[in-house]
Amino acid sequence: MKSTTAISKRLLIYLSFTLPLLWIFTAIISALAVMHEINEVGDTQMSQLAQRLMHTPINPNTSFYPTLPSIPASQRGLIDSKESGYAIWYRGKLIHADKTGENIPYLSNYQGFINQGKWWQRRGWRIFYLENPSLQLKVAVSFSKHERLQTVLRAVWSQLAVSILALPLLLWLIVWAVKRGTQPLSELAQTLSQRKPNSITPLSNATPTEIQPIINALNDLFQRIEQTRARELRFTADAAHELRSPLTALKVQTEVLTLTDLNDQQLLRVRHIQNSIDRSVHLVDQLLILSRLDPLSVPPYPNMVNWLEISNEAIENVQLLARERHCRIQRQCLVTTNTDALPIFGDSALLIILIRNLLDNAVRYSPTGSIITITLAANYINITNPSKKMNKEKLNRLRERFYRPAGQDRIGSGLGLSIAESIAKLHGLDMQIKNIENMQNNSAEFQVFLFHTKQK
């Protein structure tokens, strides 16, 4: 399955795109609302000013164009007479106006608001006309539409400036919130990574509601995996136990058959049957060992290990096979006391199986009459035997269960090294396999090293 972007990264990307779009949309809506309010207030003020001008006493026989009196700059405030103006007509003749109002066009028979020019143009105006037919007066008040637009833009830009100044804090809060929100997922991932392979302990439900379905599904999966594994182990153990009795009976019958009067061809066939039975017995024994090992996560009965006693019993267990193949097992102790040899705490019964499997493998696959050496040292245990040359691919696959290189004629199950490695890992040991070529006599040696994992 193709990997996807992390949830936290996706959240940051989504927020980085959606927040600016949301701000732009909000700014547009706010600008439209502010523009509406400004137009409403401005139009109301223009109407009120026009009404006042209509009732202002004015001599219709004189034209008067007032200008703003001279006011000190410090006292003028923010007066801008160019942004608004007014004009008064009597019988169609302009009789009163300010400097800006002089440019207001006269419209006969018209009352109300009218727009002159575009809103984005500098000289765009909004004009209000008011007429009194009885007095034959007409009043007009104008205001710059550009000024209204500038008011809106200044409000929006002031809001934008505040947003830009607050942007670093906002980004930090977003990152913090995303990390805080996804922290339970990180904790769940860490818990699963530190979990032991055989652990079926349910995960804690003290998690956010959104993660509860994942926790429940995982706990259910753990239970189903454990039930499946338990069924497989029971099947392996039961099948192995059930097979031992008929295999033992078959072995006895074939041994009895060899004592009868058989010709050479019949005797050869009986020998083949015996070899097949021996291989089946060996496989059943190995399967029984696997059924004991798979559920374990730590050695069941740990004690200080005495490798001399363990190696003695392991050598004794394979002596019969060694004599049949005319092989000799020799032991070398590179330490002064027994407790100095690779000191660990472990289960002696399992470690005997470990050394026995390695020695059994060395005897079975060495040439007839070979010498197998087991070396006990302070930092390692080494088992060496002569062997054929082996390429790297086959050497790496020797640890796989039920793997046997093509062309093997020895009795075996392909489980010996796998079981040995499982026991070694259970005791915190690393098993290293080497195939060393001797260029002088064109031969090779098969070596298995056991040492503490931390020394690797």
Tens-digit pLDDT string for the chain (456 aa): 445 556 677 777 777 778 778 878 888 888 888 888 888 888 899 999 999 888 877 776 666 556 656 666 666 655 566 788 889 998 888 888 888 888 889 988 889 999 887 766 667 888 999 998 888 889 999 988 888 888 888 877 877 777 777 777 877 877 787 777 777 777 777 777 777 766 677 777 777 777 778 888 888 888 887 787 777 767 766 766 677 677 777 777 787 777 777 777 777 787 778 777 777 776 777 767 766 666 666 777 778 888 888 888 889 888 888 898 889 999 888 887 766 778 788 888 888 888 888 898 888 888 888 889 998 888 888 888 888 777 777 777 777 776 666 555 565 566 778 888 888 888 888 888 888 776 555 567 888 888 877 654
Q: Which pLDDT score is estimated for 361?
A: 85
- How much is the pLDDT for 112? 92
Please tell me the distance from the alpha carbon of residue 383 to that of residue 431, in angstroms, as a whole number: 11
Query: What pTM does this model have?
Result: 0.49
Strands 371-376 and 328-333, sheet pairing? parallel
As a whole number of angstroms, the distance between CA 95 and CA 87 comes to: 8
What per-residue confidence (pLDDT) applies to 29?
86
105-117 pLDDT, tens digit each: 998 888 999 988 7
The reported pLDDT for the residue numbered 128 is: 94
- Please name the residue that has the structure tokens 């291989």: 279
Cα separation, 139 vs 112, whole angstroms: 11
pLDDT, position 171: 76
pLDDT for 63 equals 63
Q: What is the pLDDT of residue 138?
A: 92
Instruction: Find the length of the chain.
Output: 456
The whole-number pLDDT of residue 129 equals: 94
Residue pair 369/326 in contact (Cβ under 8 Å)? The answer is: yes
Q: Which domains does the chain have, with CATH numbers?
A: 1-66+81-194 (no CATH), 196-297 (1.10.287), 299-455 (3.30.565.10)
Instruction: Report the run of H or E that residue 355 belongs to, with start and end.
Output: helix 348-364
pLDDT value, residue 1: 42
Sign of the C-alpha dihedral computed for residues 84, 88, 89 and 95 taken in this order: negative
Instruction: Using CA atoms of 39, 44, 48, 51 in order, give the dihedral in degrees to the nearest 10.
Output: 90
